[in-house]
Amino acid sequence: MRAGTRRLAVVPLVALTDRSPQTSPEQLLAGLVPPPQFAGASFDTYVPDGAHPSQARAQELLRDLGTRLVRPARKGLFRRSTPPPSVYLDGGYGVGKTHLLASLAHAVGPERSAYGTFVEYTHLVGALGFAACVRELSTRALVAIDEFELDDPGDTVLMSRLLRELADAGVSLVATSNTLPEALGEGRFAAEDFLREIQALASRFEVVRIDGEDYRQRTGRPQSAALPDEEVRALAERASDGGASVALDDFADLVAHLSRIHPSRYGALVDGVDALGLTGVRQIDDDMVGLRLVVLIDRLYDRGVPVRLGSTGVADLVSERMLSKGYRKKYFRALSRLGALAGLDLPGAPAPVAGDAASTLPQA
């Protein structure tokens, strides 16, 4: 080796199935901030599509809301006389709802805002207890809830009560979803039995519709082609030899492992991972498996982790039956995000040609 040169340290391949992360209540509270993918998001970096004026309207509405929330208010007067503004951003996947929500949280500031996904808030209630959770969140001016959804009756009652108490405490609530609030739970459980709770939730929000196309890809389902398992292994080893922390897992083993970990810990599961390779990928036709994968893909996307799939490509990962039922919007969003991750460069290895998948993750 020539003087002055340094050899990159080889990092052994890891497996997500070897990880069982635990999160304390303190860590859950500290983690209520926008994810790394949106750490630099701001209203100025959101670029509305001129063909869809609703995007610019939503941008200005949330910008104004952020200004109101950081403006000092006399305690006792504002909260008692004026209901806190609550906004529900409704729109398809890939129109920039998460970017706008993260921008609002940044504008309000980490000390006065809480930002988390729906599943993170439900887990926070379980970890802290309901009263303690309300007490902690009531100290914030803003509670931002990304990907708001009701997948079971218990969540409906829990979130209805939580949001009611936070609003009564003067907290502004802002949520994003692919589903109008009055249609939450539709096609998933007997929503009509919980219609009063759902209507109570809906009445608390000003619904703001954001129209537009998925910025990640414009031709429907991502067409990322499958790679041979041997190639996925070789790419993972090459990236690992270059000093990256790469996870390589068998798909069936990972699916089984996810069932043993609460979805709120999936972020911790992939923290520190620079890339993920999956071998033996097979099409899924089970909603329990599918919903866990949706959360995992969201956490990988939050962190901009490149993914390579062996044996089955993105387009064929989810069955047609699942794409036609109640959770279809979640699955299409997950496929869109996974297609973008499949198009990212691996450390030390070029991205494969994957339809129109981008090589970077835009934040719009």
Strands 113-117 and 142-146, sheet pairing: parallel
pLDDT score of 161:
86
Asked if the model's pLDDT at residue 108 lies above 90, the reply is yes
Are 149 and 184 within 8 A, CB to CB? Answer: yes
Angle between the 130-137 and 118-128 helix axes, to the nearest 10 degrees?
120
What is the set of domains in the chain, with CATH numbers? 31-210 (3.40.50.300), 217-342 (3.40.50)
pLDDT score of 179:
60
Collect contacts of 79-82 with beta carbons under 8 A, ≥24 apart: 79/169, 79/170
Provide mean pLDDT across the span 179-197: 47
pLDDT score of 11:
62
Cα torsion at 36, 42, 47, 53 (round to 10°)? 120
Sign of CA dihedral 44, 47, 53, 58: negative
Maximum mean pLDDT: which of 66-70, 197-201, 225-229:
66-70
**Pick from 47-51, 116-120, 183-187, 249-253: least confident:** 183-187
Are 279 and 310 within 8 A, CB to CB? Answer: yes
